[in-house]
Each structure stands twice: as C-alpha cells, then as structure tokens.
A and B are shown apart, each in its own frame.
Chain A
Amino acid sequence: MQVFKTYFRIIFHTLTSLIIYFVVFLGISILISRYNTQPTNTDFTETKIRIAIINRDGESSVVKGLTDFLSQKNTIVDIEDDAEKLQDALFFRKVDYIAIIPRGFSKDFKAGGSKSIEKVIVPGSTTSVYIDMQIDRYLHTSDIAINYSRLDEGNQLTLVSESMAAKADVEMIAKTSSNGFIGYIYYFNYFAYVMLSISILGISTIMIVFNQPDLRKRNLCSPLKLRSMNFQLVLGSATYSVACWLITVIFGIAIYSKQLLSSGLLPVLMLNSLVFTIVCTSIGFLVGVLIKSQNAQAVIVNVLSLGMSFICGVFVPQAILGKTVLRFASFLPAYWYIRANDVIGSQSFKTDYNKLLIPILIQIGFAIMIFSATLFISKQKRTANHTNLK
C-alpha cells in the first residue's frame, strides 16, 4: 500500500491550507451559533397605539376623515380637553400620543395654509413617530384629493379613505422560527463551501503529483499494477473525504448539540452531506486529471468553490436568489445539496419523501457523471501518452 501511505504523506504537506479552511469555517459557524441564541422575530404584526384626539376645530370632512383613519390604525382613548387631565393621561401612560386639532385648522388646510396639528407626547417616545407619519400621510393624500381631484367634498373623503386603505399583497415565501433552528441548517449549508474547497484542494494535489509525467513513468516501470495504483488512489481519496466529512459533522454536533439532537434531523443532514462529499470527491478527481500545475489549482479551487457557493445558495438563501440564477445553478450539484438542506430544514420531507429523495438522487447522478468523465479523460490521456510519450 505504498501509494496509499504516500497519499497521506503528501496531504500532510498541504495541511496548512486545509487547516485554514477549517478554522475559518468553524470560526464563522461558532459566531453564527452565538448570534442565533438571541431570538430574532421574523414575523410582523401591526400594533395599535393608544392615542387621544382633541378636536378644537369642530366637525369637518378633513377632521372626520383623519379621526376615522387614526382610529382604524390605533386605539382612541377619550380624554376631556383639560390641560391637567391631558398631562395626567400621558404621565400615567393612559395614552402615548395626544393629537390636538387647532381651531380653524380645516379652513386653513383647505386654503393651503400652514396650520398644523399639535401634539403632546411622552418625552423620548419612539411610537410617536409612527403617529406623526400616519397624520402626515393622511394630510398629504387629502391635500392631493382636495386640490387636484375636482371631486365634491363627500367624494374627496371617499377617495382619501380608499387610498389610505390600499394595501400591498405580501406573500410569505419561507418562514423560519427563531429558536436557533436556522443555525445548524446554515452550518450544513456552509459545509458545501468548505467541503468543495478541501476536497478539490486535497484530492487534486495528489492527482497532480501522481500524474507528473516523470513520476508516472517511474511508477509504470515498477511491478505495481496500474489497477492497484488507481485503487489505492481512490481508497486514499475516499478515506480523506470521509475523514473531512466526519470531522465537520462532529464539529457541527458539538456546536449545535441540543438543537440538532432534539430536532431528529441529524441522520438526514448527515446523509445529504455525505452524498455531497462524494460529489466533491469526484470534482477533486476531475480537477486533478485536467490540470497540471499547482498555480492553476489554486485558481480552480477558488473559482469552483466560491462560484458554486454564491450562485447555489450557500452564502445567500435560495429564496432570495433570482430565477435566472437558480435556473443556471440547477445544473450544479451544490444547488441540489442546498435544496435538500432547505427541505430538511422545513421538515416538509416528512409528508413527501420525494422532496428529499429527488435532490439526493440528482447529487448521486452528478457524482456518477463526473467520475465517468474523469475516467474517460484519464483513459484518453493514458492512451495518448502511451503512443506519444516524450
């Protein structure tokens, strides 16, 4: 098993680069795990603020419309227009905002005057900003309706009410809870980048070394059978890849032990990551057969690992990526790995196994295809060398 032993002696020489990848990966993972221990709300629920409206202007369409609009958005509290009572209401937090419509406001507003609605707020209150914005929005819309619509007063009020009631449709594409669950899914997503980098780097280094023409000639002159040499190289690569996978998974369990074990998703995450590890191994072999120099190797490692990670959803969730990008990414194995991870994260595979099975089978298909291409290219090169080696 000389080739197998030598495999790991050579790997030992690239250990520095491999450790850097691991350290960066673990560092980021640990940071994210810390960050995710603080719950982050991802839902939005409109809250109502308690406000009081003091109308000193009397009845008018503008005042009525504004009062109706504010009462839809907030909780209106009735308070007598008395300075002491108003101050008490604020002091005891009966209300957060008091809007005072001054005398002559409606007339002035219709005439395009500068009279504004007065307010009394709790000092330093942030919620008051929302009410300011609501009042500004309403008055601004009313101003447009009054001055540009040519409608009568009743219809102006209806138009403003309809405009203020208009809402944008929001569809929730993905929803993740805030109990730390996202952390280990992110860890396993980021695993794709690390595994691509270290597999291509490690395996292609070995292939480049063993494919050096002079070394290859020397090996071919020996009684070592070509089949045995190839077998030892494959065995070495498999051992190396599985070791990297195992180390990464163990670290993942160490960082997210509670959430991972309680979720019951660990076995499927391990399965998916193992299948992706096989894909990475095949890519490593292909790169090793195609390139000759270690300078080219450094470029290829970065282009493949970073490129695939960016467009397949390792760094940016697939839900955020554009359709064209995703369509292109679907021709790459990392896309299916991330997709399987997302399915595992949403747990939707529990009701429909195909959702998980299909991405995993596609990854296996990629691995078989890349391995076959590698063998074909390798055989072509060998045949060419045997004919014109010089």
Chain B
Amino acid sequence: MIIRVQNLVKRYGDLLALDHFGLEINEGEIFGLLGPNGSGKTTAINCMLSLLKYDKGTIEIFGKPMTPDAYDTKRNIGVVMQNVAVFNELTVLENIRYFCGLYVSDKTERSELVEQAIEFVGLQDFRKFLPKKLSGGLLRRLNIACGIAHKPKLIFLDEPTVAVDPQSRNNILEGIQRLNREGATIVYTSHYMEEVEQICSRISIIDKGKTLATGTKDELKSMIKTGETMSVEIFALTDEDIEAVQGLPYVTKVTYDNNRLSVHCSGGKHNLIRLLDKLKERDISFGRVFSEPPTLNDVFLEITGKELRD
C-alpha cells in the first residue's frame, strides 16, 4: 500500500471540506480522484502532502505517517500543482534544475535527470526560454517536468490539464501513462471524466468531501442500474412499433425524435441484438446503428443525482 487515508476530516470554518474521506492506493496504480469543482479533491491532496492541517483522521504514505517533517517520505514524492508553480525569472533549464536540486544533491546525477525530464516533456528547443515566453501547453509541460525530474516513486498530479489545448492534453496524458509504466504510482485528480476513464486503473468518485464509490471503471459502471444507450436511424415508426421496443427486456426508456430511435437499458446482455431482431421482426428498415456504454458521468449522475460538471 502506497497511500492509506482514513476518516479524514477537514473544516474551513463552518464548511466541511472533507467528510470522513478515505482511500487506499496500491503501488503501480494510476489512481483517479474524480469529482466536480469544489468537491474536495485539492484539499485532500494538500492534506496528503501535509500542506494543510486537518481536523481528524490519519494519512500514511509508504507505510509511514505523513507529517510536515517527513523529509524522507517527501524525497520520493513528486508534485504537479493545479496552478503552474515555476520561477518566472529562471529559464526552463534553470527551473527544472532548481526543483530537481531540492531532491538530488549529486550534480552529475542531477544533470542527467534534468536532461531526461526535458526530453520527457519535449522542451528540448526551449531550454533557455523564460516561462513568460512559453505557450500555455508548454508551460504546463514545464510544470510537470519540475515535479517529476527527480524520478519520484509517487506522483501527485492535481488537474494538470486545466486550460490546455487538446494536443497538449494528449501529450500530457501519454506522458503520465509512460511515467506509470516506468514504475511510478500516480494520483491523478480531474473533473474531466474522459481523462480519468482513459488513463486511470482505479477511480474514486468524490463529492462534498465524501468518497462515494471506488473501483475500476468497469466496477463503477457495474454498480449502477444504467446500462447501454442504443440509437438507430429509422425514417418511419408507428406508436405500436415504439411500444413493441418498450416491451423488450431491460429497456427503461424509448424516445423517437428526428428519425432517431433512442433506447436506454438498465443492464443485461445482448440488448442490441434483441433490438435489431425486433426491428426485423416488425419489418422496419433502419440505417446507422450506435451503441454507447454507460460513462462515469452516468455513474456520478446515478449516485449523486447531478451531472459531474454541474
């Protein structure tokens, strides 16, 4: 177990930011903390990093209690903050060298690690650039390089893709997966469910400072009643046809609008085959067919009754 958080309570005055929050993260995982803005993700991370005092609970990292003085533990942790935290007065190279130097005292080893970090984030051509000369995407990459240059065993990435263009976002996500393949355990927070779904091996959904559900994406999806949603292009459909589709097993809702039949299921297998058989049986001709499995947003919606991005 790399991280164990139990019964964490954090209050900001009357506001309960973390309400008996808990999680366990295993070595080698990319663990996603998914929740809307203000759900307590960053507060949880700040508590885990001992940047914030908390009112109750325990935090263990690498099997040891995490405190502000746990310097040996901190040596193996890398942090990429939500906001870009670099020196505007230093160049790209100087920034990475500085942050790597806080962890690695050997000059030769440090130089190698800095070079590797620059290559890793693809900033080779920007070594002597000041941060203000970099684009938003490149700045995010520099932020990541500063956090991972010392090759930590555990990396916290707090919404690293906020305000980043799609191309840079893909680069960042690929980089995170590469870090994981190289042996790092990742704690990744985001309110973008697609990202979390794409890269995380296990996910914790949190809202209002509480852990609502934890598991792999399949485990989370299997926890809810919502199943796949099927869409079929049909040019003519009678009310009787719609009633017939409604009568199929596991079908919870059927709508027909703009020549598109949408069928929502609550689970079950072979729903699409059953639907197409029914259409054939009633001699209904159809065009393109789509089937969408439930998303984490559906999971969140069913658990909390609201959209993830509310």
Contact = CB atoms under 8 A, between A and B. Distances in A.
Nearest to B17: A390
A295 interface: no
Given A386-B68, A389-B51, 9 more contacts: A6-B98, A10-B89, A13-B89, A209-B88, A212-B85, A214-B83, A217-B79, A221-B51, A390-B12
Contacts of A38: none
A215 interface: yes
26 contacts: A6-B94, A6-B98, A9-B89, A9-B90, A9-B94, A10-B89, A10-B90, A13-B89, A214-B83, A214-B84, A214-B85, A215-B85, A217-B81, A218-B81, A218-B99, A218-B146, A218-B147, A219-B102, A220-B50, A221-B51, A222-B74, A223-B72, A225-B71, A388-B12, A390-B42, A390-B43
Interface string B88-122: 11100010001101110000000000000000000
Contacts of B89: 9-10, 13, 209
Contacts of B103: 222-223
Contact of A6 (B46, B71, B90): B90
Contact of A217 (B43, B74, B85, B88): B85
B154 to A, nearest CB: 11
Nearest to B12: A388
Contacts of A2: 98, 101-102
A386 B52 CA distance: 5
A28 interface: no
B208 interface: no
Contact of A10 (B12, B49, B77, B87): B87
A103 B52 CA distance: 106
B94 A221 contact: no
Interface residues of A, number: 24
B21 to A, nearest CB: 15
Q: Which 4 A-B pairs have the closest CB atoms?
A: A214-B85, A222-B102, A2-B101, A223-B71
Nearest to B81: A214
Nearest to B83: A214
Contacts of A218: 79, 81, 85, 99, 146-147
A125 to B, nearest CB: 68
Contacts of B87: 6, 10, 209, 215
B253 interface: no
A378 B261 CA distance: 65
A120 interface: no
Contacts of B94: 6, 9
Interface of A: 2, 6, 9-10, 13, 209, 212, 214-215, 217-226, 386-390
A224 B77 CA distance: 12
Contacts of A224: 102
A218 B53 CA distance: 16
A223 B99 contact: no
B52 A221 contact: no
Contacts of A212: 85
Nearest to A1: B101
Contacts of B52: 386-387, 389-390
A226 B70 CA distance: 12
Contacts of B86: 215
Contacts of B51: 217, 220-221, 386, 389
B75 interface: yes
Contacts of B84: 214
Most chain A CB neighbours (cut-off 10 Å) among B12, B85, B88? B85
Contacts of A6: 87, 90, 94, 98
Nearest to A388: B12
Given A2-B101, A209-B87, A222-B102, A387 B53 contact: yes
Contacts of B53: 386-387
Interface string B35-60: 00000001100100111110000000
Contacts of A217: 46, 49, 51, 79, 81, 85
A327 B108 CA distance: 60
Given A209-B87, A389-B46, A389-B52, A223 B102 contact: yes
Given A389-B51, A390-B42, A220 B68 contact: yes
Interface in B151-198: none
Nearest to B76: A223
Nearest to A216: B85
B272 to A, nearest CB: 47
A221 B77 contact: yes
A217 B79 CA distance: 9
Nearest to A2: B101
Nearest to A13: B89
Contacts of B77: 221
A223 B98 CA distance: 13
Interface in B1-19: 12
A288 to B, nearest CB: 15
Nearest to B52: A389
Contacts of B81: 214, 217-218
Contacts of B72: 223
A221 B79 contact: yes
Contacts of A387: 52-53
A6 B81 CA distance: 21
B234 to A, nearest CB: 52
B74 A221 contact: yes
Nearest to B13: A388
A221 B98 contact: no
A90 to B, nearest CB: 77
A222 B98 contact: no
Interface in B182-230: none
Contacts of A225: 71
A387 B90 CA distance: 30
Most chain B CB neighbours (cut-off 10 Å) among A220, A223, A388? A223
Contacts of A389: 46, 51-52
Nearest to B110: A2
A223 B12 contact: no
A189 B154 CA distance: 57
A150 B101 CA distance: 99
A388 B47 CA distance: 11
A258 B49 CA distance: 62
